[in-house]
Amino acid sequence: MLIPILFLVGVLSSQTFSQEFKTAPPPGLRTDGGIWPLPQNVQYLNHSRSIGTRRSRPIQIILDENVNDCDILKFTRKTYLRKWLLPFEDEASANDSTTLILTISVQDGCPKSDEFPQQGMDEKYSLSVPKEGNATLEAKEVWGALRGLETFSQLVFLEDETYYIQSANIHDFPRFSVRGILIDTSRHYLPPQTIRRQIDLMAQNKMNVLHWHIVDIESFPYISTKFPELSGKGAFTPRHVYDPKTVQNIIHYARLRGIRVMVEIDTPGHTGSWKGQPGFLADCSSATGEKVAPNILDPTKKENYKFLAEFFTEILEVFPEKFLHLGGDEVEYWTEACWRQNPEIRRFMKLHGFPDNVTALEDYYFSKLQQLLAPIAQERRQVFWQEVFDNNIPEPNSIIHIWKGGSKTERAESLAKVTAAGHQAILSSCWYLNYIHYGDDWKTGGINGDYYYCDPQDFNGTDAQKALVLGGIATMWAEMVDSTNIEARLWPRASAVAERLWSDPLQQKMPMKHGHDFMNIDAEWLLADFEHNQLMAHLFVIMNGYCLK
Amino acid sequence: MLIPILFLVGVLSSQTFSQEFKTAPPPGLRTDGGIWPLPQNVQYLNHSRSIGTRRSRPIQIILDENVNDCDILKFTRKTYLRKWLLPFEDEASANDSTTLILTISVQDGCPKSDEFPQQGMDEKYSLSVPKEGNATLEAKEVWGALRGLETFSQLVFLEDETYYIQSANIHDFPRFSVRGILIDTSRHYLPPQTIRRQIDLMAQNKMNVLHWHIVDIESFPYISTKFPELSGKGAFTPRHVYDPKTVQNIIHYARLRGIRVMVEIDTPGHTGSWKGQPGFLADCSSATGEKVAPNILDPTKKENYKFLAEFFTEILEVFPEKFLHLGGDEVEYWTEACWRQNPEIRRFMKLHGFPDNVTALEDYYFSKLQQLLAPIAQERRQVFWQEVFDNNIPEPNSIIHIWKGGSKTERAESLAKVTAAGHQAILSSCWYLNYIHYGDDWKTGGINGDYYYCDPQDFNGTDAQKALVLGGIATMWAEMVDSTNIEARLWPRASAVAERLWSDPLQQKMPMKHGHDFMNIDAEWLLADFEHNQLMAHLFVIMNGYCLK
């Protein structure tokens, strides 16, 4: 029961729904849709074939010779077959014969054990599931094979105790190279198993960058080997930390799923939890002289640069990812409350020829930061939140992460400016998934109201400028999010972002036709949905974990 | 990172927070607060004592002679000790001695195995945890002992590997006799384990009525032994059902936690899924003659009353609860689209002397329904949604469930009218928990914006009228809710309702002082909270499951 005005909408759509879609569709009708995000090229052969019963082992996956021993593919094969695709395999009889063989070949072979997915990773693949005979999956790199295996899994479905597969020929590749989720482990701690689970779900949505906003004002859960006091003094409790082993475990877990782990070390603001490094934080007071908790570093002290150089040396050793996110957002409050009010810092600014100019002091800081990183981060690309571009002078090769933009116009202007200056860009403005709304907010939700429709290349600019847009990152800021609710808040809402960033916008259709909310619709209900459009079919797949267990 | 205007609020409060409350408080400081909902009378002795280490068995619970073999208490003792209170007991060494004994005595002894909690159940208890020596819990009925044991568990806390208990004397009882949660298993199916888990959480919040809105338009998951075709044709799939064994299991599970299971069989509207009973639904068409999916029964057919009598006979056998919710809400759309447009039904109305009067036909239906229930539901009380009171003539002894009310005034008027007519009332208008909002919506959320502050007795009426208000039920309508998100949406938001319905409003203080959002704050964070007000302390307790595992 709802309040009347909402009620009628709800009931009428439910009414249509229950009338038309109550019984599960015959398998033969499941001939299109079904893959999320929508592939670049897909030809359905209008044919589904049964491949075995619920308690059989209908699928075998063979790895081509040069990847036969590839850790990533062996692991993924096991995950799909045993966990996501055929979870009842244990119930299978030993005598069951395989009905379908999928052969995977990878041109470039297997990455070495110390090779990680990086910018430029090739995710292209070709998948053929013919009407008869066996299936093939071909890719240049192993990362493409992972994406293809996910697609393959989405062609398989269980209906009335029988497994079916849809026949199709698919040539697929992502539109954008950066398709990410930001997790924030400072506002609330996320247990490693929660992070790992989100990585699984990212892989099922063909996303490839986990942006790990690992520390912030509220807590410093990262255990630094060189500076253990950072977490010692900055973590919520000694149990709310990520030790080196856990961090490596998460990075390797992500690698096996073709996902990069981009860490963010946000300075000079947002550093309130860095209390474990003596002298690092600036003394702060308000204009009326009252003490304010420090949330910005002191950029005037030499020791702080020495410390940062050592700390970043460690970070670069720990995280193999070649994008290093350096933050740089939202410093205005503290440059006023801390830098401008602090007599030592005022003296420093005067001495350096920019009295009272906190922006110049910021420039000074970022310039020093980039200097200290130069020798230790040679192969890395620096990523900054947009304020560093707006107010300061990031190095030309750095990537600008756009998060502001209360309107489409504002967002488009930022994209145009950043790319006109020759910077590559990543967009987050329209995908603040931490904000929630009742109803189908995957369509019109978010701050900008065009959640699913937000296009990172929709701005006035040349083709060259548009090519500088690397993609987007959906953010799950954790002021109100912890392990008890992150998953329900993130999925399947982030699936909308995943499709926007992977698929060809000209081919994408409005995925929902009958007004039923996709958010939190459950996999069980999807079984009862006749229409089976892409989004629903996908949800069935990404929710297999719930549905088939 | 948030949009600037929100950001500053968030950061400043976080700032204060991180400055003052980062380290766990010394146990001795935990001397007040801590029990949720706030007890009617609590005297803290300003003393916490350590009772053992994390790996010990510090507490023993002894049942008094007349309840020594009581299934409910034995079960609850086990649940608290092994699961909620001392989850590490398995790690304890066999030689550990008990530090604290709690003796439970229950004046009226143990309910018989076929006795269920009912309206009038006595939930009063007295708990004494002295500074030294053992603790006692006294209650008239076993239900009070359950509430007291919950309170006892909230006095125990774990800090730095050591268990402590706060000393206190508590005399407690609920303000309202009905403190409920509505679950809706028609819009989305909820697996039994999800329902059971919500029952646990209800018990931890001292709530006592599970309002089970079991069927509606979207699906009919209840398996009727007499009419299996109802779920056969009306369930989403054959797997999305509650069979008799499952229903009994849920009722008994709730009984062991002092929770009543009030089923709702909503007629004459909201019946679109009752397709398994031939001829039950009215033929419907719009004013322009188009067919409309039927969502209302045909009140003109004698067979339908015969069927309803048999069906309700079964329902009354299945559900021991003496409140029977008969729905009756939101029929206007279908009385127009189905009853008024249907030639047979028009003829019937004319024949019975109320041509074109669908409200009179509704009266006719409710009068027949009450007639057929009279012989089979003698000891039951009927509950109706408020429209039946507004438009029809419910029997004087029936209870009116108020759910409308876009404003406090409207809600208060309904309460005044219903109680002036001598009906008992239950309020839900201000507690539509299915609606979500970003931020601390437990304070100001809900349709009416006074979520925590909504008081069911806040209307113009005599003391006698106010005494007719039985309590309230927080509703979790499931248009957008399934097993993946119900818990994050329901808890701890429903804890605000739980306190409103249990505690003395004159003693309740604004529970949150520093602007941090209580919704979804996690238990781990609470450990780091110095202030430890009631709400936070409670959340620590209700989230023990997450925190201590």
- Percent of chain A at pLDDT above 70? 81
- CA B246 to chain A, closest CA, distance in angstroms equals 19
Q: Which residues of B touch A14 (CB under 8 A)?
A: 187, 217-218, 272, 479
Please name the residues in contact with A252: beta carbons below 8 A apart, sequence gap of 6 or more.
Answer: none
Q: Which residue in chain A has the smallest CA separation from B218?
A: A18
What is the pLDDT tens value at each position of chain B, 549 positions in all? 333 222 222 222 222 222 232 333 444 444 334 677 888 998 888 788 888 887 788 899 999 999 999 999 999 999 888 776 766 655 566 666 778 999 999 999 999 999 999 999 999 999 999 999 999 999 999 999 999 999 998 888 777 678 888 899 999 999 999 999 999 999 888 999 999 989 998 998 899 999 999 999 989 999 999 999 999 999 987 888 999 999 999 999 999 999 999 999 999 999 999 999 999 999 988 778 888 888 999 999 999 999 999 999 999 999 999 999 999 999 998 999 899 999 999 999 999 999 999 999 999 999 999 999 999 998 999 999 999 999 988 999 999 999 998 788 999 999 999 999 999 999 999 999 888 877 666 666 666 667 888 899 999 999 999 999 999 999 999 887 887 778 878 877 888 899 899 998 876 554 433 222 333 333 333 333 322 233 444 444 443 332 222
- Predicted TM-score (pTM) of the model is 0.85
B190–chain A Cβ distance below 8 A for any pair: no
Encoded tokens for A143: 């990362």
> Cα A382 to the chain's mean position, in Å?
18
B434/A217 Cβ within 8 A = no
3-class secondary structure per residue, A177-196: CEEEEEEECCCCCCCHHHHH
Measured between beta carbons, the chain B residues lying within 8 angstroms of A403 are 1
User: What is the pLDDT tens value at each position of chain A, 549 positions in all?
Assistant: 333 222 222 222 222 222 232 333 444 444 334 677 888 998 888 788 888 887 788 899 999 999 999 999 999 999 888 776 766 655 566 666 778 999 999 999 999 999 999 999 999 999 999 999 999 999 999 999 999 999 998 888 776 677 888 899 999 999 999 999 999 999 888 999 999 989 998 998 899 999 999 999 989 999 999 999 999 999 988 888 999 999 999 999 999 999 999 999 999 999 999 999 999 999 988 778 888 889 999 999 999 999 999 999 999 999 999 999 999 999 998 999 899 999 999 999 999 999 999 999 999 999 999 999 999 998 999 999 999 999 988 999 999 999 998 788 999 999 999 999 999 999 999 999 888 877 666 666 666 667 888 899 999 999 999 999 999 999 999 887 887 778 878 877 888 899 899 998 876 554 433 222 333 333 333 333 322 233 444 444 443 332 222
Handedness of CA A323, A495, B189, B481 (dihedral sign): positive
Quickly list H helices, A25-170: 71-78, 142-155
Pairwise CA distance, residues B526 & B533, whole Å: 10
Residue A330 annotated in active site:
yes
What sign results for the dihedral spanned by CA atoms A143, A149, A152, A158? negative
> How many H helices and E strands in chain A?
19, 17
The answer to whether A96 faces chain B, any CB pair under 8 Å, is: no
- DSSP for B339-398? ITT-HHHHHHHHHTT-TT-HHHHHHHHHHHHHHHHHHH-TT-EEEEEHHHHHHS---TT-
Query: Which three-class secondary structure string do you get for A421-483?
Result: CCCEEEECCCCECCCCECCCHHHHCCCCCCCCCCCCCCCCCCHHHHHCEEEEEEEECCCCCCC
DSSP class of residue B107 equals T
B170 - beta bridge partners?
B42, B127
Between chains, do B2 and A477 touch, taking CB under 8 Å as contact?
Answer: yes
**Mapping DSSP to helix (H, G, I), strand (E, B) and coil, where does residue A382 land?**
strand
**Containing H/E element for A496?**
helix A493-502
Of the residues A159, A330, A336, A395, which is catalytic?
A330
Q: Does B508 touch chain A (CB under 8 A)?
A: no
Give every CB contact of residue B30 below 8 A, 6+ residues apart in sequence: B48, B157, B164, B166, B532, B537
Query: pLDDT digit string (tens) for A82-99?
Result: 776 766 655 566 666 778
B424 φ/ψ angles, rounded to the nearest 5 degrees:
-75, 155
CA B34 to chain centre: 22
Please choose, from the candidates B15, B306, B364, B536, the residue with its C-alpha nearest in 3D space to the C-alpha of residue A290: B15
Q: Tell me whether A480 touches chain B (CB under 8 Å).
A: yes
For the CA atoms of B318, B321, B326, B327, what is the dihedral angle to 10 degrees? Answer: -110
> Residue A178 carries which side chain, given as an amino acid letter?
V
Rounded to whole angstroms, how far apart are CA atoms A486 and B119?
38
Going by their DSSP bridges, the two strands A469-476 and A424-427 should be labelled as parallel
Consecutive H or E run containing A393: none
Q: How far apart are CA B268 and CA B394, in angstroms?
A: 14
Helix (H), strand (E) at residue B256: none
What's the CA gap between B108 and B67, in Å, rounded?
A: 9
ipTM over 0.85: no
Phi, psi torsion values for A269, nearest 5 degrees: -85, -175
> What gap in Å lies between CA B537 and CA B547, rounded to an integer?
13
Contact between residue B61 and residue B70 where contact means Cβ atoms under 8 Å apart:
no
First to last CA, chain A: 31
> What CA–CA distance (Å, rounded) separates B156 from B174?
22
Q: In one letter, which amino acid is B283?
A: D
- Cα torsion A419, A425, A431, A435: sign: negative
B160 touches chain A (CB under 8 A): no
Interface touch A18/B188, C-beta < 8 Å: no
In degrees rounded to 5, what are phi and psi of residue A477?
A: -60, 145
Residues 6+ apart with CB under 8 A from B123: B141, B143, B144, B146, B147, B173, B174, B206, B208, B258
Mutation target for B interface from A184, A189, A520, A544: give the one with most B CBs within 10 A.
Answer: A520
As a whole number of Å, the CA-based R_g of chain A is: 25
How far is Cα B403 from Cα A64, in angstroms, rounded to an integer? 63
Question: Could you give the angle at which helices B358-376 and B343-351 cross, rounded to 10 degrees?
Answer: 80
